[in-house]
Every structure is written in structure tokens, then in C-alpha cells.
Structure 1
């Protein structure tokens, strides 16, 4: 059964994702570039590695950035939304990366239980899952497929949106900066308030990671509500 979070990412959203995501997240490409750099620093450069990319649909930007930096890495891309995964496959084809990527439509738990990875990414996913239980479950599913001590890049929104009115207004101004009308800005603000459930603080992010079997996380990128961390599976 398709999850409710996957149902949000239909054909219309997949078609606009590349443009919309770069407006909603100022520094979208920098975030993905730095994620690749942090993984390379953690794993050691120029070494073969198998990377699990959870929620890979849309731009496949994390794979593109990692592949450009490390030619000996291979990828397993997982996403429950067929339109989003199709969009990612188009980007992988355009960048000649399909031969380095296994693509799976579905959930992490659909992968073979004995398949293990040297590292993983979960970018832009956690805040689309309602409640702490599914957030912890997806982190636990990733943790179970990582080798001991393997790194995870976690990125997404944190803070309850309504608790940060200045950030929320600045986020609306970001859309205005990109040409949105006043009515469009208000529609975007209404949508973000109703459409996601991010962890309510950085402490909440750390708690979820600890409960799922990860160690302390290092934050290395921020943009308004967005945070990006590197953590490792506890040994």
C-alpha cells in the first residue's frame, strides 16, 4: 500500500519539483554538494562504497553530487512515489548514472534484508512523515541496513512552523523574491502550515536518531527551517 506521504508526490508535484524545491530551500544545490563532501570525508576519498539513497525521487541531486565527487561509489535509490522516481530516473539518464544506480519503487523494507550499505542519505523526507513513530521507523530501517559505524546524512525541516513566525515570513519573502504574487505567497504559507510535520527542534532530531541507533549528529548546513546533519550508526 502506498504511504500517505508518497500520495502527496503525484505527477503534478513531480513535474514542478526541481524548480519548486530550489525556491523553497535556498541553497538546495549547496546542501547536496556539502552532503557529498561530508560523506567522502567520513568514508575516505577514492574508495569504493555502496550508498543507500532513501527518498531519491525528484532531482536525484544527491546521487549526481556524490557520483561526481566519487567515481567508485554505486547507489541504491528507493522511493515510494512512482512519478517522483520516474523524474529521478530521467535525471540519472541525463547524467549517465543509471549504470551506477539500482532503482527500487517502494519502501526500504522491500529491499533484501541481508543487503548492507557503507552509507545512506535521507534528504527531504522526515518532515513529510506524520508523528514520531513513522519517523523513527524509517530511521531504524536505514540503521538496520548500514554497516557498523556507517554514516548517515539526514536533511529536512525542523521546528514547528507556526512556532517560528519570523522564519515563516522570511520563507514567504523567499517566494516573493522569486516572483510569486502576494496571493501565491499566502497560498504557499498556508500549504506549508498544513502539509508537513517536521521534528519540533534540533534536540528532537537528535532524540529520533538516538532512538533509532545512531550516535551524535553534526549539523553542517542550515537554511531557515532546514537543517542537514551527519551521524553514524552506533557500533
Structure 2
């Protein structure tokens, strides 16, 4: 598992971390809306819980999910985990700008590095699964999260699905999205080539559901979709 996530972390070096906020908002139309809905879904699931401990896996970069949750729920606290030093530093800067460092424990590393007895009220795994090679690595991170959740706790999973080449219309629209934001034809071609080689997303929503079931989670409810990207909420069984 760690070798797979290490390879994924290497993708997010300093240059990519520095441009992540802009790039992610182009690649995912509705980026901020998705993060806002993550906060809303967890708040709705946890109900009248005054305070909650939320595990945020793959928190590097914008830390936008933490910012959105913290804005909605001022008594929630967060544990942020990410294996990329550059992405963690970028997230730390965003958390500092939003006065959230005191409410966030930041861990450079992996879910497995957290104490086995850690117990969280909820968790998020956003933009991570499609960067892990193979179903075994995907199940392993899901099981590691499950082991640190309270019974019945909600989990938000969000990321790309489909084998990209299997959806030529979506892929073409994704390229047009970049063109819409000023990319030249050569730049669009390069980005399309990169996405076709650079990730291993689950190949369908059914595949996502199976990964969750295999890892000890219940049926998932999809609440956001944008081209290849979807977001679901499930709960620990």
C-alpha cells in the first residue's frame, strides 16, 4: 500500500503543488461547490453533534474541504493526512490564512501511521482513489480509514471514475474545459495524453460501490457529479 501511495505522492511535487488550486478548479468544474456539499452532507449525517473529529485523507493542496467544513461547523476539529510534503505545506498555508491551524492536526504520511486506537466521527477521501494503482491499494486505504472510524460513521469518497478512454465524449468535453480557460490546442493535447496515462480510476459507479462494500462500508449515495468526477457518501458498517 505504501509503495503505491508513495508513487502517487511523487506526482505532487513543489511545482504541481503550487499550481494545484488553479489546475484543480479547471479540471473539476464545480470544485468549490463539491467541497461545500461535502460539508453539508457530513453536517446532515452527523445531525445535532456539537463537536466532531473528522479525518481528512489526502488533505494537501487547497485544504478546501477543511475550510468548507470549518465554516459550516465551528466546533469541528480535523486530522489532515497527506504523503506529499509539498502538498502539505500548501495546505498549511491555506489553513493559516483561514485561522484553522489550531483546529487541525496535520500529519505528513499515511493513514496507517495514525494511532490504531484513533477514533473519528467522520472521514473524507477526496481526489485520492484514482491516483492509487489497482483495486488492492484502493481497498487498503479504505480499510485503514474504516479501522479508525466510529461505528456507523460517515465517509465521503470523491474522485474520478471510468476508464478515461472508454468515455470519448466526456474526455473531449474535459479538453474543451481547458480550452475554455485559455489552453492552446497543443496544451489541451498534452493534458489529454497525461490524463490517459497518469491515473487508475475505478471503471464505473458499480466498481466504486464494490470497493466500498469489500472494505466494510454500506451502500453509497452519490450527491455530486461533473464529467468524470463523482462524490458519494457511505457509512461504516
Per the TM superposition, whether the score is higher than 0.5 is yes
Aligned pairs (5 A) from 1:186-205:
186-205=189-208
Query: Deviations along 1:107-142, whole A, 9 cap, x unmatched?
Result: 000011101100000000000001000000000000
Pairwise CA RMSD = 0.8
Distance 2:174 2:161 in 1: 14
Partner of 1:15: 18
Distance 1:188 1:42 in 2: 37
Aligned pairs (5 A) from 1:34-183:
34-45=37-48, 47-183=50-186
Query: Does the CA-based 8 Å contact 1:59-1:88 persist in structure 2?
Result: yes
TM-score (norm 2): 0.98
Q: How far did 1:47 drift?
A: 1.5
Q: How far did 1:45 drift?
A: 4.2
Q: How far did 1:102 drift?
A: 0.2
Distance 1:95 1:231 in 2: 29
Distance 1:157 1:47 in 2: 32
Number of paired residues?
234
Partner of 1:216: 219
Query: Deviations along 1:16-70, whole A, 9 cap, x unmatched?
Result: 0000000000000000000000000000145200000000000000000000000
TM-score (norm 1): 0.98
Q: Which runs of 5+ in 1 are unaligned?
A: none
Q: How far did 1:176 drift?
A: 0.2
Q: Which runs of 5+ in 2 are unaligned?
A: none
